[in-house]
Amino acid sequence: MANGGLTCVKFITFFCNLLFALTGLLIFLVGFTVQLKYNHYSNFVGNNIWTVPIILMIVGLVVAVICFLGCCGAVKENSCMILSFAILAVLIFIAEVGLGIAGYVKHSGLQNVMEGQFNLTMEQYSERKDYRDTWSLVQTELKCCGTYESADWERILHNTTLPKSCCSVIITEEATDCTTKHAHTEGCFNKLLSIIDSNTLTLAGVVLGVAGIQILTIMFACCLFRSFGRNYETV
């Protein structure tokens, strides 16, 4: 009966380790996707915000690697490997909690950071090509114009002509300039903030699901370690 219970715990631990490995892959993919899709907006949200996706990718890879330790420990009935896995898994879990807290703290001040970055990049629009490229990209992709409205450009460019990215198409052959008459009506600040907020909620849901699986895996690993110890004592 004891051996049957041990086999059951081994099987469950091995299965949870596979799920644990999948959570690592999921964390990596989330970090990679955020980095790939939104890294070009870093001028608007501050470079320090984009350390989070990089850390997520690193954590995801580490999780996937230590799962190999847990699977081997369960199959070979190696208590040392199981204990090492449990300790590393706990450390990873603590790191993820810390990362979540840091992300929440940074997100709470994100709006102020973004306002400052939008103002800075707009004021230096004429001097810096990278800012011009970023504005052209965000206005084209999000179909927006200016920080809050197209009129924001008047105090920067000192005329009624707007960046061409503010308009979806060239108006006529005679008038190729983009003006407020044909520009996108929505500002870019609220649009980008809305995208980041929606992605933050998605990320929070993923983290909660991952945390649940990881806690379950750690619990079964501890149970398996104790079962190995009892078996050795019996022998």
- 34-37 — which CB contacts under 8 Å span 24+ positions? 34/199, 34/203
For residue 148, the model assigns a pLDDT of 92
Show the 3-state SS of 121-164: HHHCCCCCHHHHHHHHHHHHHHCCCCCCCHHHHHHHHCCCEECH
Q: Give the pLDDT of residue 170.
A: 54
Which pLDDT does position 235 carry in this prediction? 44
| Rounded Cα distance, 64 and 35, in Å | 20
Tell me if 183 sits within 8 A of 151, measured CB to CB.
no
Check residue 46 and give its pLDDT: 66
Output the CA–CA distances (angstroms, integers) from residue 91 to 25, 45, 62, 87, 231, in the order listed: 18, 30, 11, 6, 27
Q: Along the chain (235 residues), what's the average pLDDT of each consecutive run of 10 residues? A: 60 75 79 76 70 76 79 74 82 79 71 86 90 91 91 86 81 65 88 81 71 78 71 47
pLDDT the model gives residue 234? 47
- For 52, 92, 96, 103, the CA distances from 65, given in Å and listed in that order, are 20, 12, 16, 24
150 touches 162 (CB < 8 A): yes
**Token duo for residue 111:** 């709006």
Structure tokens at 121: 């990049």
- Give the pLDDT confidence score for residue 233 in this predicted structure: 46
Nearest to 147 by CA among 198, 191, 200, 178: 191
pLDDT of residue 17: 75
CA neighbor of 223 nearest in space, from 53, 91, 39, 79: 79
Q: What is the pLDDT of residue 174?
A: 52
**Based on the number of CB atoms within 10 Å of its own CB, is 15 exposed (0-12), middle (13-18) or buried (19 or more)?**
middle
Q: Alpha carbon 70 to chain centroid distance?
A: 26
Domains of the chain, CATH where assigned: 2-109+198-234 (no CATH), 113-189 (1.10.1450.10)
